[in-house]
Chain A
């Protein structure tokens, strides 16, 4: 009986250890990490897998400035998520705007993550936010945002050399996409015949992958770069 009680106590201790920090403490850690970055620019490589869109990878340059200015500059046409990659982090900053609830532990990218659910307390475009946070380093490994305007968007970050600034090497967006269809007369595609597609992602989810390199931090960027 004694051994059984000891076993239960150890399991409880293990559970407590993983979620030793409260959601608020974890969020504060994430915010602190990212607050060190006032602005940055970086080289960007974009890959796309969007149902009904055949588009090749594109290189570009990305610019960010606190609190929420984000701009991608490219020479061609690109498809980007409607929300900028730091929308989730910007949400977390206003700690009065939501209620954070712990959702246990999950392993993402071989990292044991604390799951935190964010429920907005004010009328907001966001319906629900779910964050997988690397508690040890204060990094958001994955987030899932359900908004009124854009459905569900999943954002997965892979950190490398810039992890101390909470800047990812790679961000992968997974976005719900409606089936793309244009009337034949509008597309003036009168002689086409529907054929099964060989490429692309047929599941109705678009995947955009942003690969960052050559970060340049805190150079007191002007706002000109964000203008059209």
Chain B
């Protein structure tokens, strides 16, 4: 099984598109950090202008924690697209290139092969999140320094003390990984149904975009649908920065995301084991 996972990882590593995600993250993070390094004070003044009329605000607001939080807010919405680009190709890519027949002719069962692809896809997702963490939090803290985190919300500011921040970021990265794991599984499932690379990737991206738009629209009609969409629960990483921590909400979202993973994986297994390989 380990060899099979290594083989799947090797396939991911040798594909140029696997590096697009890393490249995109690097460019976006460095751009945001550079923009805040040059112009961050004006951004902070704009946000705090209503409060600065009444109060004198003491302390270093523009610190690495704030920059990392802003990067996460901006980037985590886009990361599912980067993940789907690679994981949507895991099975269908082999079907398209014809290597799936060779793979299935080995001594491994179809179940083992799919498990290996699922694990390899998650390792790739984890590597993306780890890279994001190193760039956003590591370099952010190094360049902008440490300090209390001002959690920006449209109608509220939550100020978390510096010694209460790092574990929340680690938790947020883990939750982000778990959320992206839903995308990994979803695109893997679609990949099992297709015989070309493009369809599952585009289908995954389309579903993510549609669900995100539905989640963003503040329309009553969608209120009943929203709790069932996995994209609604993928943003629970933000709840880790609430004070007090909404534990039950986090646990519920976690359970719903886990349910989605189980559902997508079950469908993927059910179909892949019965799949008629024709090319």
Contact = CB atoms under 8 A, between A and B. Distances in A.
Given A53-B159, A180-B156, A187-B153, A78 B59 contact: yes
Interface stretch (B7-15, B44-52, B89-97, B271-279): B44-52
Contact of A77 (B148, B154, B232): B148
Interface in B172-203: none
A206 interface: yes
B170 interface: no
A54 B53 contact: no
Given A177-B51, A192-B153, A75 B159 contact: no
A225 to B, nearest CB: 14
Contact of B55 (A80, A186, A191): A80
B157 A54 contact: yes
A182 B55 contact: no
A43 B50 CA distance: 29
A53 B54 contact: no
Interface centre among B53, B55, B150, B159 (most CB of A within 10 A): B55
B125 to A, nearest CB: 21
A192 to B, nearest CB: 6
A202 B158 CA distance: 15
Nearest to B162: A76
Interface in A175-212: 175-184, 186-194, 197, 206, 208
A183 B43 CA distance: 12
A72 B56 CA distance: 11
Interface residues of B, number: 38
A224 B162 CA distance: 26
B70 interface: yes
B61 interface: yes
A56 B157 contact: no
Interface in B105-128: none
B264 to A, nearest CB: 22
A52 interface: yes
A18 interface: no
B243 A190 contact: no
Nearest to B46: A186
B266 interface: no
Given A54-B243, A191-B216, A79 B154 contact: no
Contacts of B153: 182, 187, 189, 192
Contacts of B57: 77-80
A162 interface: no
A177 to B, nearest CB: 5
A52 B155 contact: yes
B218 interface: yes
A193 B278 CA distance: 49
Interface in B217-236: 218, 232, 235
Nearest to A46: B58
Given A80-B56, A206-B55, A54 B73 contact: no
A188 B159 CA distance: 17
Nearest to A188: B73
Interface in B231-276: 232, 235, 238, 243
Interface string B50-80: 1101111111110000000010011001000
Given A53-B157, A178-B50, A187 B152 contact: yes
Contact of B159 (A56, A82, A151): A56
Given A53-B156, A76-B147, A79-B51, A190 B58 contact: no
Contacts of B74: 188
B161 interface: yes
Nearest to A82: B56
A180 B162 contact: no
Contacts of B21: none
Nearest to A187: B152
B154 A184 contact: yes
B88 interface: no
Nearest to A193: B218
A186 B158 contact: no
A175 B150 CA distance: 22
B58 A78 contact: yes
Closest 9 CB pairs of A and B: A77-B59, A188-B73, A76-B148, A187-B152, A55-B159, A77-B148, A79-B55, A54-B158, A184-B154
6 contacts: A53-B156, A58-B161, A77-B60, A79-B51, A81-B55, A180-B51
Interface of A: 50, 52-56, 58, 72, 74-82, 150-151, 175-184, 186-194, 197, 206, 208
